[in-house]
Homo-oligomer: A and B are copies of this chain.
């Protein structure tokens, strides 16, 4: 996997997405030619991970306005933007990307459909490039937190697939590796959709970084044996006070980390931090179809018929369990209300 790999491509006036539901057994690219295609891909998690969802949506709005009559442009854009914005509630990058699209539209809508499309495409390309550059930058900052030989546990996939390219949590691990630190990775399999077992394995194997997959419930036992030196995860939304929503199970890992005195890091770009969300209590948590729990990857029913299940997609890790938030503006430390505010100020003055 080279540094330019991305699961999100724009080719021949449409969006191509590497279908993450089919990995690792099949590498299939979806051709999205309508906003509905993009929404379907987001909803079924063919594209997933907060930064990837945001960038896919930024490209997706173009599909709703390409070639429409000037008289329909305003409605077509806003309908598409709202439609895609509503696909998933937790990740803030989606709203953030759509909001930037709205600003671009406001500036260009009087110049006609083609100009709007050109400007939206410029924006999507720019957001994509920014996300990848942010990952590489946070990788360099985060790499400093790792020692040679560290055994690093991660939960869910916050790699190149989730983040348009390079990765956040997996990017930090990758940067440490590329900087010559011989790290090894514990991969939480991440039920119900097994993003760890399927996607981290797929990425780490290509990167040549040694790893073991474990059932999520093994993390505590592995920590109690002294086998975990660092933990790093991504985030879907970080509140202004540092509370971080991420894939269900992250919170359990954070509590276990505290119990075992293992540093617990969150790696995410500033685009994942929402200053309008005061605390984790204000982050909406998506509840997904229970069939994802009772029927593994839609292929294997594991419970009796009509069994009820609870399928929370995310949980919130409170800021006091987070040793640092690794961003493209540096490694933020508690108190996060101050360090986050400072990072945004530095980013704006750049």
Name A's B-contacting residues (CB within 8 A).
24-25, 155, 186, 188-192, 194, 197-198, 201-202, 205, 210-222, 224, 248-249, 251-253, 255-256, 258-259, 293-294, 296-297, 299-304, 307-312, 315-316
Q: Evaluate contact between B249 and A309: CB separation under 8 angstroms.
A: no
Q: Within the assembled complex, what's the spacing in Å between the Cα atoms of A192 and B316?
A: 25
Which B residues are in CB contact (< 8 Å) with A186? 310
With beta carbons under 8 angstroms apart, the residue of B253, B259, B308 that contacts A213 is B308
Q: Evaluate contact between A255 and B222: CB separation under 8 angstroms.
A: no
- CB-based nearest B residue for A280: B224
Q: Within the assembled complex, what's the spacing in Å between the Cα atoms of A155 and B249?
A: 15
With beta carbons under 8 angstroms apart, the residue of B190, B202, B293, B302 that contacts A198 is B302
Q: Within the assembled complex, what's the spacing in Å between the Cα atoms of A46 and B308?
A: 25
Which B residues are in CB contact (< 8 Å) with A217? 155, 188, 190-191, 216-217, 248-249, 252-253
Q: Evaluate contact between B303 and A213: CB separation under 8 angstroms.
A: yes
Q: Within the assembled complex, what's the spacing in Å between the Cα atoms of A208 and B280?
A: 37
**Distance (whole angstroms) from the CB of A280 to the closest CB of chain B:** 10
Which B residues are in CB contact (< 8 Å) with A155? 217
27 contacts between A and B (CB under 8 A): A24-B304, A189-B191, A189-B293, A191-B216, A191-B217, A194-B302, A197-B302, A197-B303, A211-B308, A213-B293, A213-B309, A215-B248, A216-B216, A216-B217, A218-B312, A219-B252, A220-B249, A220-B251, A220-B252, A221-B312, A224-B251, A252-B256, A255-B255, A255-B256, A255-B259, A258-B259, A296-B300
Q: Within the assembled complex, what's the spacing in Å between the Cα atoms of A195 and B191?
A: 15
Q: Evaluate contact between A296 and B296: CB separation under 8 angstroms.
A: yes
* Inter-chain pairs besides A217-B253, A297-B300, 10 sampled, C-beta below 8 Å: A25-B301, A155-B217, A198-B303, A201-B303, A215-B216, A220-B251, A220-B315, A221-B315, A256-B256, A299-B300
Which B residues are in CB contact (< 8 Å) with A303? 24, 197-198, 201, 213
Which B residues are in CB contact (< 8 Å) with A252? 217-221, 252, 256
With beta carbons under 8 angstroms apart, the residue of B213, B220, B249 that contacts A307 is B213
**Distance (whole angstroms) from the CB of A334 to the closest CB of chain B:** 19
Q: Evaluate contact between A202 and B259: CB separation under 8 angstroms.
A: no
Q: Within the assembled complex, what's the spacing in Å between the Cα atoms of A118 and B77?
A: 84
Given A300-B300, A303-B197, answer yes or no on A222-B191 (Cβ-Cβ < 8 Å): no
Q: Within the assembled complex, what's the spacing in Å between the Cα atoms of A312 and B297?
A: 24
Which B residues are in CB contact (< 8 Å) with A212? 308-310
Which B residues are in CB contact (< 8 Å) with A251? 220-221, 224
Which B residues are in CB contact (< 8 Å) with A191? 189, 191, 215-217
Q: Within the assembled complex, what's the spacing in Å between the Cα atoms of A25 and B296?
A: 14
Q: Evaluate contact between B249 and A215: CB separation under 8 angstroms.
A: yes
Q: Within the assembled complex, what's the spacing in Å between the Cα atoms of A136 and B190?
A: 37
Which B residues are in CB contact (< 8 Å) with A218? 248-249, 252, 310, 312, 315
